[in-house]
Structure 1
Amino acid sequence: MSNSTSDTLKVALGQLAPVWLNRKATLDKIAQSLSEAADNACDLIAFGEAIVPGYPFWIELTDGARFDNVEQKSIFAHYAEQAIQIERGDLATLCDIARQKNIATYVGVIERPLDRAGHSLYCSLVYIDQTGQIQSIHRKLMPTYEERLAWSTGDGHGLVTHPLKGFTVGGLNCWENWMPLVRAAMYAQGENLHVAVWPGNERNTRDLTSVIAREGRSFVMSVSGLMRPQDIDSKIEELQSIKKLGTDFLANGGSCLAAPDGSWVIPPQVGNEGIYYAEIDLAKVRQERQNFDPAGHYSRPDITQLTVNRKRQTTVNFND
């Protein structure tokens, strides 16, 4: 059967290593990849969790739980200084490229938002649409394990989906993708292209990506970063011990794309930077929804329902 052009979408997995803990250099690298994807007629490209300015790998590797430690406070201060402030216009270049080249993107950032006083950090997933507008900023609901020593807990404000040609796209950060109620919130909004972003490692993406695809009967893009010891800035003295660990990767990638039946469109890509492209067809979603649709004909809202609070959380309400 023939399909309309709105049924197809060209997507890309942007598996990059950040210029670790360097906001400007990493944004420049992402901008180059965003332009390259657009020049290849791509409609959407996604980049890994916390890629700007990088994932806090040091916490696990430098005894990061030491309380009131001078070295740990110094590293955190540098991390916070290099974080994204959207209100300052840090993503303006990416927005300009998206508008000029008619491409949408998901970018994982460490956000230092002014609406939470400007110093605490949030692991945020930002969606920029094809007009260059920031349409959502999703702050990770629950930082995982040692991440809680660097990141604050987010809220439900960013649990939204977006139209993109014939598709409905949504995204979650890392282990949020393991949270069944959060996934259900995305399915209920018509999501049929799910973007899962990760700091990296095939162990995170190989099994879960196809599970979400089969559960949601949707395409699922898992997009990871890379991190190697040589990516550590030699000027940051407190981090040099990580280079001596004798490992090739702190994060080895694992970006992949699964179809609505759980089969691979792009199998996990390990160990290499690159942009990986595929064309996906909404007809595949319709085929798999014939026998199972988690928010449609296979749901029972008369028996089970989910309540989601999407208010942006704040510590004070001023009545001026």
Structure 2
Amino acid sequence: MKQAIKVACVQAAPVYLDLEGTVEKTIGLMEEAARNGARLIAFPETWIPGYPWFLWLDSPAWGMQFVRQYHENSLEMDSLQAKRIADAAKRLGIMVVLGTSERVNGTLYMGQWFIDENGETIGARRKLKPTFVERTLFGEGDGASLSVYETPLGNLGGLCCWEHLQPLSKYALYAQNEEIHCAAWPSFSIYRHATAALGPEVNVAASRIYAVEGQCFVLASCALVSPTMIDLLCSDENKHALLQAGGGYSRIIGPDGSDLATPLAENEEGILYATLDPGARIFAKTAADPAGHYSRPDVTRLLLDRSPKTPVVHVDPDYSQQATSNEPQAAVHFQEL
């Protein structure tokens, strides 16, 4: 980061299970942020088409009633809907980090799509390991999802939800000199009376610790559960007890752990804004840099494989012929798609 920049962090409910409606709302929030001078806007986890709360409320068989609609309203990266969002980023001159359920053929991934101010894709990551019941719906990412991207605003990275409880994944981004981190969260309103682990205190603390550990700015975007979503998903008293409306706890956090924007109420839609001063990172890094002068690589080190892994590897025909020969040093040529 070479200069101070204004950023925006969304706290809102999607138009649930509605791709077109949520794309419209996405562009509207981008336009609002651009009017207010923001150069970057961050959205919650699976903002399009909303977080699949039905996974947490009953059996997998019960939740299957929502799966087709969820699948059909997830975002394909080469779709007209994705192009509309990218075109809006270019028109507005704003950078976007968008939480999506990304659809690739028959598989869904919990994704974060990084779009620059020219509407070009900087990167697209996928949650490395969906959490708990999420694994019944989503596939897994690979090492390419632990990347930090160089942009005109600074080095930009992101993680989804409880990836912020994975120490090695966090360290991988710290070590790439991440300056601005987009933490994508759902709503903190599930199982509220059963466990603190899913509540706001623990998970806001995870974003705050990330900022302090990595000496970076954190845009922790958190969605809302709307009354409309409650009406759709909570068909009996037990489900009403498990999931409540609200749960929005978006934050913009500085490298010293301080809030840089006044939080909204947990049931209030809006956008948080803050100006990020690169000098704050200098002071934080001087005190402690866990991947730099505050590290001990002679004692502990991270092995990081960022290469993408694909289910099909196409072998070069030349290699097939060589492999059938008796030549001891036949070279391997292959292309991963």
TM-score by length of 1: 0.88
Q: C-alpha displacement at 1:240, in angstroms? A: 5.8
Pairing partner for 1:264 from 259, 268, 275: 259
Residue in structure 1 matched with residue 176 of structure 2 by the alignment: 189
One of 222, 235, 242 as aligned partner of 1:241: 235
Q: Specify the structure having the higher radius of gyration (Cα).
A: 2
> Over residues 160-198 of structure 1, what are the superposed CA-to-partner deviations in whole Å (9 max), with x where a residue is unaligned?
112343521110000001111111111111102111110
Q: Deviations over 1:48-81 (max 9, x none)?
A: 00010011101111x233xxx3x54332122111
What residue identity is the alignment partner of 1:76? V
**Residues 245-284 of structure 1: per-residue CA shift (max 9 Å, x gap):** 2688345110001111111112543221101111010000
User: For 1:94, which of 79, 85, 91 is the aligned residue?
Assistant: 85
- For 2:236 and 2:139, the matched residues in 1 are separated by 24
Q: TM-score, normalised by structure 2?
A: 0.84
Identify the match of residue 297 of structure 1 among 286, 293, 298: 293
Gaps of 5+ in 1: none
Q: After the TM superposition, which parts of structure 1 deviate over 6 Å for at least 4 consecutive aligned residues?
A: none
Distance in 1, matches of 2:202 and 2:46, equals 15
- The whole-number CA distance in structure 2 between the counterparts of 1:83 and 1:167 is 29
Could you tell me how far apart the structure 1 residues matched to 2:236 and 2:75 are? 24
2:147 equivalent in structure 1 = 160
Deviations 1:103-154, CA, capped at 9 Å, x for gaps = 10111000111xxxx0111100111111111111111011111111111122
List alignment gaps of at least 5 residues for structure 2: 189-199, 317-337
Distance 1:74 1:280, change over 3 A: same
How many Å separate the matches in 1 of 2:108 and 2:243?
Answer: 28
* Aligned match for 2:46, one of 43, 47, 50: 50
* CA spacing shift, 1:262–1:242, aligned 2, 3 Å: farther
Query: 1:254 aligns to what SS in structure 2?
Result: coil
Distance 1:255 1:204, change over 3 A: farther
1:314 and 2:310 matched = yes
State, as a whole percentage, how many aligned pairs show the same letter: 35
1-side partners of 2:234 and 2:10: how far apart?
Answer: 27
Q: Partners in 1 of 2:289 and 2:97 — Cα distance? A: 25
> Which of 137, 153, 158 is the aligned partner of 2:124?
137
Q: Distance in 1 between matches of 2:242 and 2:56?
A: 14
**In the alignment, what sits opposite 1:82?**
73
| Matches of 2:65 and 2:103, distance apart in 1 | 17
| Alignment match, 1:255 | 250
Partner of 2:328: none
RMSD of Structure 2 on Structure 1 (CA): 2.1
- What is the alpha-carbon distance in structure 1 between the residues aligned to residue 206 and residue 133 of structure 2? 21
Residues paired across the two proteins, number: 303
Contact 2:230 2:240 in 1 (8 A): no
Find 1:210's aligned residue among 192, 208, 211. 208
8 Å Cα contact 1:195-1:220 kept in structure 2: yes
1:56-75 equivalences in 2 (<5 Å): 56-61=52-57, 63-65=58-60, 69=61, 71-75=62-66
